[in-house]
Homo-oligomer: A and B are copies of this chain.
Amino acid sequence: MTDIGPSTTIGEIDEDALIALFAPRLPRSDAEILGPGDDAAVLSVDGNLVVSTDVLIENRHFRTEWSSGADVGWRAAMQNLADIDAMGAVPTALQVTLAAPAHTPVQWVLDFADGLREACEPHGVGVVGGDLSGASEICISVTAMGETHGTEPITRADAVDGQVVAVAGPLGGARAGLEQLTRGERIDAESIGLFLRPSPRIGAGLEAALHGATAMMDLSDGLVRDATRMARASEVGIDIESALLPVHDGARKVAVALQLDPRPWALAGGEDHHMLAVFQRESAVPEGWTVVGVTSDAFSGVRVDGEEPTVRGWDHFAG
């Protein structure tokens, strides 16, 4: 077998050899009955199965100049864990596919496995299977699985008039990180870190479910765009009060340094992955969440301070 050095590429070793190096670095799932290496994995499921999939494409969802293999692995895992949490369910396992060019260093692929592990292990989540392939650009797909624990899954579709809209964490941090990377500035390390490794509090979704949330989703494409999806699914209007927005401290700092207004980042910046949830009344909102608006049947879609928003979110086909 070839010796693996820092410059060894995946095109220089065979598929089985790469799998043999990759698989032992992956996190193990508490729900695993049979792990990677066979035609399929076998998992125990308590309650119903909750399942979600996201794809990450090089130069669209990440850049290898900015993100290490471990950062990409972290993000691939975390945005899917957030999707399971957004149903009020508990994530248990991932399936991961990685397609990458022959010139990709083996070390990048192993770092990717390490990032998956760093994101998953604190939550008892494991990678139970997947697929590796060649490709012209890096293409990652992660399917996350979880189970309901005594609560009904919380969809986007059940918000009604006169309820309270809240978010579980500060907004605009990842967007401020992206702004710095794009400009080649380094004003606030924390927000750059958040762009590279989104860090929603996994478990906030289950917490919201236990507080009777009527609708929930995670914020992947920005508050306005995602709230518009929720408003459409629930057939209700959502009015956001911009003065209430919990703008991330790092985003404020970066905005001040660049003489910009950070509120558009909080309204339209994607990748924060915090929970957006609707509660029946303000007293039901869990501690640590921030109320940002209300639902109303007086209009449809999203308004910001009573008006049509002038900012939009991220479109994966444009740009």
Taking beta carbons and an 8 Å cutoff, which residues of A are in contact with B?
10-11, 13-16, 18, 33-34, 37-45, 48-55, 57, 60-61, 83-84, 86-87, 89, 93, 95-97, 99, 102, 128-137, 139, 141, 143-146, 148, 153, 155-157, 216-218, 229, 233, 315-318
Residues of B within 8 A of A61 (CB): 133
Which of B42, B57, B93 interacts with A148 by CB under 8 Å? B42
Assembly CA distance A223 to B55 (angstroms): 32
Structural contact, A99 and B139, CB atoms closer than 8 A: yes
Residue contact B60 to A143, C-beta cutoff 8 Å: no
Q: List 19 A-B contacts (CB under 8 A).
A: A15-B315, A33-B48, A34-B155, A37-B156, A38-B155, A38-B217, A40-B153, A41-B51, A41-B52, A42-B48, A42-B51, A42-B87, A53-B97, A95-B143, A99-B139, A134-B316, A136-B137, A137-B137, A141-B143
Let me know if B50 and A48 touch, CB within 8 A.
no
> Out of B141, B157, B316, which one reaches A141, CB within 8 Å?
B141
Contact residues in B for A135 (Cβ distance below 8 Å): 57, 60, 137, 139
Query: Which residues in B have their C-beta under 8 angstroms from that of A43?
Result: 48-51
Closest to A16 in B: B229
**What 7 pairs across the A-B complex have the smallest Cβ distances?**
A141-B141, A40-B52, A139-B139, A39-B86, A143-B143, A53-B95, A55-B97
Which residue of the partner chain, among B48, B129, B157, B216, contacts A44 with CB atoms under 8 Å?
B48
The chain B residue sitting closest to A37, CB to CB, is: B233
- Report Cα–Cα, A139/B137, bound state, in Å: 10
Q: How far is the CA of A148 from the CA of B218 in the complex (A)?
A: 32
Is the CB–CB distance between A316 and B95 below 8 Å? no
